[in-house]
Chain A
Amino acid sequence: MLLPRIIRGLTFVILVVPLVCGLVGTALPAFGYLPTLGGDHLTLHFFADLFARPGIGRSILLTFATAFMTTALSFLVVIVFVAGWAGTHAFARLQHLVSPLLALPHAAAAFGLAFLIAPSGFLLRLVSPWLTGFDRPPGWLIVHDPLGLAMVTGLVVKEVPFLLLVTFAALPQLRLEQTRRLAASFGYGRIAGFSYLLAPPLYGQIRLAVYAVLAYASSVVDVSAILGPTLPATLPVRLLQWMNDPDLALRFVASAGALVQLVLTLSALALWWAAECGVGRLARFVCAGGARFRRDAWLRSLSLGLVTLSAFFIFAGMAILALWSVAGLWQFPNALPNELTMRNWARHLPQITTPLITTVYVALISTTLAVLLTLGCLEREVVWGRRAGHMVLTLIYLPLIVPQISFIFGLQVLTIITGTEASLVALVLVHLIFVLPYVFLSLSDPWRAYDRRYELIAAALGVPRWRVLMRVRLPMLLRAILTAAAVGFAVSVGQYLPTVLIGAGRLTTITTEAVALASGGDGRVIGIYAFLQALLPFLGFAIASLAPALLFRHRGALRV
């Protein structure tokens, strides 16, 4: 079949070409070359300029440290939780909760967290003034704290569900139950047994996802702008400020910074890789000593507590956002607003409509394209057998591991040169770069797990290949396809940096508007935007689970 081959080539182009072009487009201005802005000779001047900026060292260090802390914490929470609880009822129940948690855009989760833990936030209101004696918010620097702890928390609560989901997908390939019993029969504690015997193969399977978390955390803009330190801010936030500065000369500095960002992310990955080796060696050393760690109940409870806490932060955060969006007067230290009103919505709805339409439109088109491309790639795999699977996987992860900011700067330059800046086409394409990997990752497992004998039977009945695909495989995989689409939709809705840069301020989405409102601090408006931002992906997932349930309501084998 020719079509799948074309699609596979196209997928490769979409994943790799923008990356390469973007990096080149970033590197040239970084070294002073950008004729449209008068840069016509190569120079290292802008790197010197960058490193002379006040607090730049601290920005870099902060970025590095928060990224590493986020990844280490998220990974530890997930691996200890899985080690202590995999195979239990609590674990099975949690599996259903993870997808909606993952669907929530980072920015909405960050806002929710901010509204909970800020000095004027909900948690402190609950205990004021009867416990704390505060009748006005204390001057604590909890959100935007100089060490970036709030930012780390905001990232961890979102990365834990992501790593959990990846782990859920990897677990069936391990002999969990037998290994667990075997370890227990030798007298090893649950967590120790898992760590010695199952963690190494498990880690091998989720390694790329962990790298993606590290790369994301080291280059994130929106969460950092909402929760992160301000004086100085993390490197990516400052880069975006320079990029959007009216002084166009700062673009050269921003581009130099984007290259430094690339080096920063790669160094973080290298350090993580070194830490991997170190931890592995340590674990083997401890294991060789035969330590059993039988009393791990406290650690198991702690991990369950932390996972529950991160879920609580997200759900409670959403509730608070919803509440703020309909709040009338809501003074500190009142735990609840004086009145509930739709006035906020009525007042802001006119301004919301355009960004809302853009959000949905771009998300729908990029998701549809991503699903079609993924189906094409996977279909080709069926026809030709599964070759070089690992290469493909690495390729798929590439846009998730190279920091967005390092190549989207260059892509923006490219859109200016080609005259496509702030066009819907460019915005859809740049979203597609990030939607495609997630759609592929969530669809490939069910696709490969499909019982091929159904297709063999159909082919033996003399039915042409495309018709077998349309009438047998696709309907049977409808649920998986819609779920993958919902994931893609959520990813698109949540995109901040690509939207800001390629939309050039003229095409705005719910997400860019919400983040732009962050500095204003008007709870009601932020509540509306962040709530909508969270609502869209939830709707996507609701449709993805309701549509098959409705379509197949008389089909017992397809019910879940």
Chain B
Amino acid sequence: MTSAKGLVLSSIDIALAHRPLIALEAMVAPGTVLTIMGPSGSGKSTLLAYVGGFLDPVFTATGAVTIDGLDLTALPAEERHAGILFQDPLLFPHLSVASNVAFAIPSSVRQRAERRAIAEAVLKDVGLDGFGGRDPATLSGGQKARVALMRVLVARPRLLLLDEPFSKLDMALRDQTRRLVFERARVAGLPVVLVTHDIADAQAAGGQIIEVGMNA
């Protein structure tokens, strides 16, 4: 089981003050999406926090998170390489667009020029050629979403966590961004955990859907 390819969530149990929030068991193969659906307050974002390694200590959680056989459970967030996208793009406001991307490039790439070149190339890849020197505050919502996505991918994560990343985009943009994100994750072979309350997200993801918190 632990040697399986992809993300394995085994016997996950999360509780707040002895009140059980979430209990689940799942496997996410590389390039596929597991969608967690539930109303707000159902603890679905808590699951992402547990997988990402930044669960607030007020919660108690048990269960193992493994990726390609590697147990992440005991690792701190910065060693898990679990890329995450939130509702807001959260581009670092004090850095330029290119520096935002370059910040994410692994430290194994040492040369400044090379890091810069990678950042520019990645931006070009999503139609943001020449945007590197821009102030993130001057970008449109769709452009910000694309930079945020590329920033996560360029860090070469082991998996991708999506915390309702499309809910603040307007209809047309939402569909477009959704397709881009899923497409890129599939190409990169990343297991994806998507948390949403929008059934359209789940349908577009096209993977297994788990509903939580319906009895709460």
Contact = CB atoms under 8 A, between A and B. Distances in A.
Q: Is the interface of A mostly helix, strand, loop or mixed?
A: helix
Interface in B51-103: 52-54, 56-58, 76-84, 86, 88, 90, 92-94, 103
Nearest to B151: A461
Interface in A448-462: 451, 453-454, 456-462
B147 interface: no
A475 interface: yes
A556 interface: yes
A471 B103 CA distance: 9
Give the interface size class of chain B.
Answer: 20 to 34
Interface stretch (B3-11, B118-126, B133-141): B133-141
A98 to B, nearest CB: 26
B104 interface: yes
A131 interface: no
Q: Which of A457, A458, A476 has the most CB of B within 10 A?
A: A457
Contact of B54 (A454, A459, A552, A554): A459
A5 to B, nearest CB: 16
Contacts of B79: 462
Interface residues of A, number: 27
Contacts of A554: 135
Given A454-B90, A460-B161, A555 B78 contact: no
A472 B54 CA distance: 17
Given A456-B84, A555-B135, A555-B137, A461 B94 contact: no
A460 B56 contact: no
A555 B84 contact: no
Contacts of A456: 52, 54, 77, 84
Contacts of A556: 93, 135, 137-138
A56 B94 CA distance: 60
A461 B135 contact: no
Contacts of B94: 475-476, 478, 552, 555, 558
Contacts of B84: 456-457, 460
A464 interface: yes
Nearest to B85: A457
Given A460-B77, A462-B155, 4 more contacts: A456-B52, A457-B152, A462-B81, A465-B76
23 contacts: A451-B90, A453-B86, A456-B77, A457-B86, A457-B90, A458-B103, A459-B54, A460-B81, A460-B82, A460-B155, A461-B103, A462-B79, A462-B81, A463-B103, A463-B104, A464-B78, A476-B94, A478-B94, A552-B94, A554-B135, A555-B94, A557-B136, A558-B94
Interface of A: 384-385, 451, 453-454, 456-465, 468, 471-472, 475-476, 478, 552, 554-558
Among all A-B residue pairs, the 9 with the closest Cβ atoms: A556-B137, A557-B93, A459-B77, A461-B155, A557-B137, A461-B104, A460-B84, A475-B94, A459-B78
